[in-house]
C-alpha cells in the first residue's frame, strides 16, 4: 500500500489526501465531463439506476435500527459498542478524475459497504454473547470471532465456555477505553 501511494505521489494528511501537482493534472485530464458521461452511459445503467438508489431507504432504516439496537442492548449486557464511524470511508471524493455522478456513485457504495461491515460487527458481537456455537456446515466468510466459538454439538464445551466468551467481549471494551 505504501509503495503504491509513493508511486501516485500522494500525501495522506489526516482524512484528506493531497496529490502532487503532476498527478493531480493527470487526474483532471482523465475526468469525463457530465455531458459525455451521460451520453455514453449504457442504457441498462440508466434504467436500473432508480432501483439501485431506491435501496438507500432500507439501508438508512438498517443503519438506524442497528445503531439504536446496539446502544440499548449492548449497554444492557456490557458488550462494548461498535464505533460506527470506524466503518465508513469516504475518500474517493478527493479523486479529481471522477465527475459528480461518479463521486455520488462512489459515496453510495462506500456507505453500503461501510453499513454492511458495521452491521456485521454488531451482529458478530451479538452472536458471541448469545450463541457462540459454530455451525455444522461450513460458513463461507466467517466474522473474526467465529473461530473462537464452541464446536457444533459440544454441549459441555458450550456450558463451560459461554461465560468466558462473554467476558472476552467485556474485556475488549475495557482495552478499547484504555487507548
Q: For 59-105, how does the pLDDT look when each residue is reduced to its tens digit (9 = 90+)?
A: 999 999 999 999 999 999 999 999 999 999 888 777 888 988 999 99
> What are the CA-CA distances from residue 109 to residues 63, 68, 92 (Å)?
14, 23, 11
Does a structural domain hold residue 130? Answer: yes
For residue 38, the model assigns a pLDDT of 72
Sign (positive or negative) of CA dihedral 127, 133, 135, 140? positive
Q: Of the given ranges (11-15, 36-40, 124-128, 144-148), which has the lowest mean pLDDT? A: 11-15
CA 8 from chain center: how many Å? 25
Where does residue 106 rank: exposed (0-12), middle (13-18), buried (19+ CB within 10 A)? middle
Total domains, the chain: 1
Number of neighbours of residue 14 by Cβ within 10 angstroms: 5
User: What pLDDT does residue 173 have?
Assistant: 73
Q: 142: domain range?
A: 31-177
DSSP H/E element including 16: strand 16-19
Collapsed DSSP state (helix, strand, coil) of residue 23 = helix
Per-residue pLDDT reduced to its tens digit, 22-31: 666 666 666 6
Report d(CA 60, CA 118) in Å as an integer. 13
Task: Report if residue 22 sits inside a domain.
Answer: no
Q: Is 17 among the domain residues?
A: no
The vertex-110 CA angle with 106 and 112, nearest 5°, equals 115
Q: Are 122 and 81 in contact (CB under 8 A)?
A: no
Query: Does residue 112 form part of some domain?
Result: yes
Banded model confidence at residue 18, pLDDT cuts 50, 70, 90: low
Joined grid coordinates for residue 61: 432504516
Extract the C-alpha cell encoding 66: 442497528
Which pairs from 12-15 meet CB under 8 Å and 24+ separation? 15/91
The answer to whether the predicted template modeling score (pTM) of the entire model surpasses 0.85 is: no
Q: Is position 131 within any domain?
A: yes
How far is 94 from 91, CA to CA, in rounded Å?
Answer: 6
> pLDDT by residue (tens digit) across 1-16?
556 555 554 555 555 6
15, part of any domain: no
Asked if pLDDT for residue 177 goes beyond 60, the answer is no
Q: Which pLDDT does position 31 carry in this prediction?
A: 66
The DSSP bridge pattern shows strands 10-13 and 16-19 to be antiparallel
Amino acid at each position: 500500500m505504501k509503495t503504491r501511494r509513493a508511486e501516485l505521489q500522494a500525501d495522506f494528511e489526516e482524512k484528506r489526501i493531497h496529490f502532487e501537482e503532476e498527478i493531480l493534472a493527470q487526474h483532471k485530464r482523465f475526468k469525463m465531463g457530465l455531458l459525455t458521461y451521460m451520453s455514453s452511459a449504457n442504457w441498462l445503467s440508466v434504467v436500473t439506476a432508480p432501483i439501485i438508489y431506491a435501496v438507500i431507504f432500507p439501508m438508512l432504516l438498517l443503519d438506524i435500527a442497528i445503531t439504536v439496537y446496539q446502544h440499548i442492548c449492548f449497554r444492557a449486557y456490557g458488550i462494548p459498542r461498535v464505533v460506527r464511524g470506524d466503518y465508513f470511508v469516504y475518500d474517493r471524493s478527493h479523486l479529481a478524475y471522477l465527475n459528480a455522478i461518479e463521486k455520488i456513485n462512489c459515496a453510495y457504495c462506500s456507505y453500503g459497504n461501510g453499513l454492511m461491515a458495521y452491521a456485521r460487527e454488531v451482529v458478530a458481537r451479538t452472536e458471541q454473547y448469545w450463541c457462540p456455537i459454530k455451525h455444522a456446515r461450513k460458513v463461507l466468510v466467517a466474522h473474526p470471532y467465529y473461530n473462537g466459538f464452541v464446536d457444533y454439538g459440544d454441549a459441555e464445551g458450550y456450558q463451560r465456555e459461554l461465560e468466558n466468551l462473554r467476558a472476552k467481549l467485556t474485556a475488549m471494551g475495557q482495552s478499547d477505553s484504555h487507548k
